[in-house]
Structure 1
Amino acid sequence: MLNRVILIGRLTRDPELRYTPSGVAVTQFTLAVDRPFTSQGGNREADFIPVVTWRQLAETCANYLRKGRLTAVEGRIQVRHYDNNEGRRVYVTEVVADNVRFLESAGGGGNRDESYDGGGQSYRDRGPSQDSGRNQQQQDPFSDDGSPIDISDDDLPF
């Protein structure tokens, strides 16, 4: 059996970080995910999907995610229920995330791709490095600077 979901959308509000009585961090936020079609009036529609993260992933999301930020979430769908004050049973469907990827930088530049895998406890940053101590200059080894390329016949595979 398989219960996996991958969503890409924007946060509708800042994440809410709370702690359980035993001290476990939990964060809740809602992701607005566009539908792949438009309504009869030509308007785009979206689904608003509640997401829950736990432990270190919850704290990371609370620190780095903000309203409007484009985010990818990977996890599983969970349906839970409780009885409200009126004695009625209320069902809640939500995504329990185990991997959250920040698809835009905090400034909204859009060229960073950061992810945090809650299960592996490892934070990965795939964006351009901005090391304050040294100037990192990355050069494209295939760029054309106009000079001839010196290749010997021994280097060719044919």
Structure 2
Amino acid sequence: MNKVILCGRLTRDPEVRYSQGAEPMAIARYTLAVDRRRSRNNDQNEQTADFISIVAFGRNGEFAEKYLKKGTKMLITGRIQTGSYTNKEGVKVYTTEVVVEEQEFAESKNSASNGGNYSNYDNAPSAPAGNEPAPTAAGDGFMNIPDGIEEELPFN
């Protein structure tokens, strides 16, 4: 089984190209900085992140082109792909990259722009329905459920 799950931040904006042919396909490349767990010796000069090459094809590439930018925290699921080529100097170069199968944002747009502060809600209702009090932020990043709701929650 070849399955990779990564969570990290883009080190630069994605570089997107389109393939030649009747139906051009988007090919997006970017680097994801993935934090390492701290080592036992706590050496301050030690590298604390791995920089992993990512490639996204087709719809995933179009998504990367439209929505991803430097600093965006992403959760990537994919597979490792290796390859090689001979450069202009005649030296064989080996490559390793993760091919995206699924990608999703690992933080909200607000937390990214507010440095992790979750107190600003874009989707919070601006006015209560009827005479019910408006839901408010509880300070822990979750909305309080107003008292007096007699409907069942939509969970099984």
Segments of 4+ moved more than 6 angstroms: 134-141
Query: Are 1:27 and 2:28 counterparts?
Result: yes
Higher strand share: 1
Deviation at 1:37, TM superposition (A): 1.2
The aligned amino acid for 2:4 is V
TM-score with structure 1 length normalisation? 0.68
CA offsets 1:51-96 (integer angstroms, 9 cap, x no match): 0000111011111111111111000000011111111111100000
Counterpart residue number, 2:57? 54
Aligned positions, number: 129
Q: How far does residue 97 in structure 1 lie from its aligned partner after superposition?
A: 0.5
Corresponding residue of 2:16 = 17
Corresponding position: 1:66 with 2:69: yes
- Provide the rounded CA distance (Å) in 1 between the counterparts of 2:13 and 2:71: 8
Shift of 1:106: 4.0
The answer to whether the 8 Å contact 1:14/1:29 transfers is yes
Q: Is 1:104–1:111's contact at 8 Å kept on the other side of the alignment? A: no
Q: Which runs of 5 or more structure 1 residues have no equivalent in the other structure?
A: 113-126, 150-158
Identity of aligned residues (%): 40
Match among 85, 89, 95 for residue 82 of structure 1: 85
Of 40, 43, 68, the match for 1:41: 43
Q: Measure how far apart 1:40 and its partner are.
A: 3.7
Counterpart of 2:139 in structure 1 is none
Counterparts of 2:127 and 2:62 in 1: how far apart (Å)? 31
Compute the TM-score of the two structures, normalised by the length of structure 2: 0.68
